[in-house]
Structure 1
Amino acid sequence: MWKQAQSLFAEDDEESQDNLLEETGDLCNLSQTQRLYAFGVCSLAGIVCMFLSMIVLAIPIKFALLFTFGNVLAVGSTTFLMGAKRQLQMMFDPVRIYATSIYIGFVVLALICGLLIHSKLLTIIAVLCEICALIWYSLSYIPFARGIVSKVTIRLFDTEI
């Protein structure tokens, strides 16, 4: 089974690794090294925001804003590597369009609950759903990961995700 998966993804992975940074040449004037640095800085800033949000956990609205901003920075950092067009194509690929839509929906919902509604309970619920949606979205990039998680939940909880 592993050999079949490797053969399915081998050609595509080699091409995408070779062309990952070259395809963004028309996107901006940043060099490959500058794009790698921008990716690292943006990812690090996102992670820092998510960790800082834990400090203000007692204030759910600030927590939701920092955590969501960190999420968006971390997910958006890959745009520096592959370009906005390719990032959007991958996000809205038929394999992960539902996971992407649900994730974006909960990001927006968390911001609405925090900024407009000012409800601590709704904000916490929205952030928890955002975390679950981000995990499911992230699993869509790992071959067979969502299928394995579904099988495990069927065995453990007698329900499918």
Structure 2
Amino acid sequence: MKGDYNFFSDKKDDPLDAVCPKLSYQQRLWGFLICSGIGWFLEFCAFISFFQGNGKEFAIIFSIGNLVAIMSTLFLSGPKDQCKKMADKSRLISTIIFFSTLIVTLVLAFATDLTFLTLLMTLVQFCAYVWYVLSFIPFGQRMLKKFFSSCCEFE
């Protein structure tokens, strides 16, 4: 209906938000939880393939799991608002680094036979993912920096 407002904002409906049209708070929360659960399940399955000795399969499944887990946040605020948050100056670098490491990991896994480098990029991707997620938690990145600086202090 024309003039309806989005549940999470005072702005009028936007075609970019049509991916999650007029979902209730409970529906958005369930969508987030289910999508996150699928992403985490894929990451768990990736570790099983790693312990079976398949490094490339691990990198691919792990990367897809990370992507699905990140996509789950689209349910909470809608695609347009989530993209704005990702492009915010406080987390733009984290966003670029995370998605770059994800792409490089997948390219290495699909296009090369460099399993060790692919696994190394998966580790870098995981670190970038953690850093990206912490950018949404107030003082999250600052607390992690402080934690590691206190661990690395030598007397």
TM-score by length of 2: 0.81
Residue 89 (1) aligns with residue 89 (2): no
Correspondence for 2:98: 103
Structure 2 portions without partners, runs of 5+: 1-5
Structure 1 portions without partners, runs of 5+: 1-17
Q: 1:36 aligns with which of 11, 15, 29?
A: 29
Q: Percent identical across equivalent pairs?
A: 30
Aligned residues: 142
Correspondence for 1:8: none
Measure the CA separation in 2 of the matches of 1:74 and 1:24. Answer: 28
Residue 78 (1) aligns with residue 73 (2): yes
Measure the CA separation in 2 of the matches of 1:52 and 1:23. Answer: 40
Structure 1, residues 128-156: CA drift from partner, whole Å, max 9, x if none?
A: 00011111111111111211222232232
Residue 46 (1) aligns with residue 39 (2): yes
What root-mean-square deviation, in Å, do the aligned CA atoms of Structure 1 and Structure 2 show? Answer: 2.3
Offset of residue 40 of structure 1: 2.3
Q: 2:8 aligns with which of 17, 20, 30?
A: 20
Residue 138 (1) aligns with residue 126 (2): no
The SS at the match of 1:56 is helix
Measure the CA separation in 2 of the matches of 1:102 and 1:87. Answer: 17
TM-score by length of 1: 0.78
Offset of residue 22 of structure 1: 7.4
- Report if aligned partners of 1:21, 1:81 keep a CA contact under 8 Å in 2: no
Give, as a single letter, the amino acid of the residue that structure 1 aligns with 2:47.
M
